[in-house]
Amino acid sequence: MNTTQANDSWKREQDAFLLEMAPESHFFRAFDGLPDVYFFAKNRRGETLFCSSNLPQNHGMSVAELIGKTDHELTPGPLAEKYLRDDAEIYRTGKPLPPQIEICMDHVGLPSWYRTCKYPIKNREGDVIGVMGTFQPAAPDASQDPARYRLERAVQELTRNLRQFPGIDRLADSCGVSVRQFQRVFRATFGTSAKDYWMKLRIREACALLRSSGLSLAQVAAELNFYDQSSFTKHFRRHTGQTPRAYVRQASQGITS
């Protein structure tokens, strides 16, 4: 058997194997063993049909709640429009997009840098019927966008100072830009102000403490320097859509990340 015949034979074997495979056994399940890598697959309507088990947790949902959701439902606003432009390019060309560093949201709505890879899903006639891809945490690329890369210094300042906001002057100085330029670039990059970003960092830390520290709600509030438990609950509900007590109850049931 020559090489061409052998390749054709294996192609038939691959096709038969894929047709026989049960949906719950598809290869994307391998991503379930990679906690920092997220997989998704969408149809042409932009509805999520398949995902790795950790992706719903990243949005504070269960698998059942996430299936069928579109980008606008998961990440409303300019970021969703960017994802849809990526999809449109894949549908237009039928080709994967080059890997890129971009912003995605986590379960408290906190924007972070991720490395994304996106590919077409084709039917047997070669038509693109959907988009699939992966994303994983990554640092911004200075060679691609120096201004946004410098913001990482401000993000580090915010992350180190969860008990007290560092101040806009200090953040701008850490990036080597004016206050006005810092505020403009920060909002253009992350879609929110530095103060709001800082609050989201605090709420994300509160989620981690509520899940694993054994601290009471009042103790978590004090640990992150909220005025009182009532203030903590107010901010927590604003950024997660639920009270800290409800979050703890869901976390104990394995629903929340």
Q: What is the pLDDT of residues 70-94, one digit of tens each?
A: 998 887 667 788 889 999 999 999 9
Do 218 and 118 lie in a common domain? Answer: no
Q: Which range, of 108-117, 149-158, 192-201, averages the lowest pLDDT?
A: 108-117
Q: Share the mean pLDDT of the chain.
A: 85
- pLDDT in the model for residue 112: 73
* CA–CA separation, 102 and 160 (whole Å): 23
Rg (CA), the chain: 22
Give the pLDDT mean for 118-126.
93
Do 209 and 127 lie in a common domain? Answer: no
Sign of CA dihedral 190, 196, 198, 200: negative
State the pTM of this model. Answer: 0.61
How many structural domains compose the chain? Answer: 3
- pLDDT in the model for residue 255: 46
Question: Alpha carbon of 61 to those of 18, 247, 248: distances in Å?
Answer: 30, 11, 14
Do 78 and 204 lie in a common domain? Answer: no
Give the pLDDT mean for 151-167.
92
Do 80 and 176 lie in a common domain? Answer: no
- Does residue 251 surpass a pLDDT of 70? no
- Does residue 234 surpass a pLDDT of 70? yes
Phi, psi of 81 (to 5 degrees): -60, -35
- Does residue 257 surpass a pLDDT of 50? no
Picking from 164, 191, 218, the residue at the C-terminal end of a domain is 191
Instruction: Look up the domain containing 25 and give its range.
Output: 3-137
Burial 158-186 (b: 16+ CB within 10 A, else e): beebbeebbebeebbbbbebeeeebbebb
The CATH number of the domain holding residue 211 is 1.10.10.60
Do 44 and 128 lie in a common domain? Answer: yes
Do 40 and 121 lie in a common domain? Answer: yes
CA dihedral 37, 43, 45, 47 (to 10 degrees): -40
Do 33 and 154 lie in a common domain? Answer: no
Do 26 and 77 lie in a common domain? Answer: yes
Phi, psi of 7 (to 5 degrees): -65, -40
Do 111 and 25 lie in a common domain? Answer: yes
- pLDDT in the model for residue 239: 77
- pLDDT in the model for residue 76: 67
Do 127 and 145 lie in a common domain? Answer: no
The CATH number of the domain holding residue 48 is 3.30.450.20
Higher pLDDT, 126 or 10: 126
Give the pLDDT mean for 174-178.
91
Q: Among the residues of 21-126, which ranges form H helices?
A: 54-58, 63-66, 71-74, 78-93
Do 128 and 218 lie in a common domain? Answer: no
Do 35 and 126 lie in a common domain? Answer: yes
Q: Which residues have a Cβ under 8 Å from the Cβ of 156 and sit 6 or more positions away?
A: 174
Q: Which range, of 52-56, 108-112, 122-126, 246-250, averages the lowest pLDDT?
A: 108-112
- Using pLDDT thresholds of 50, 70 and 90, give the confidence band for residue 111: low
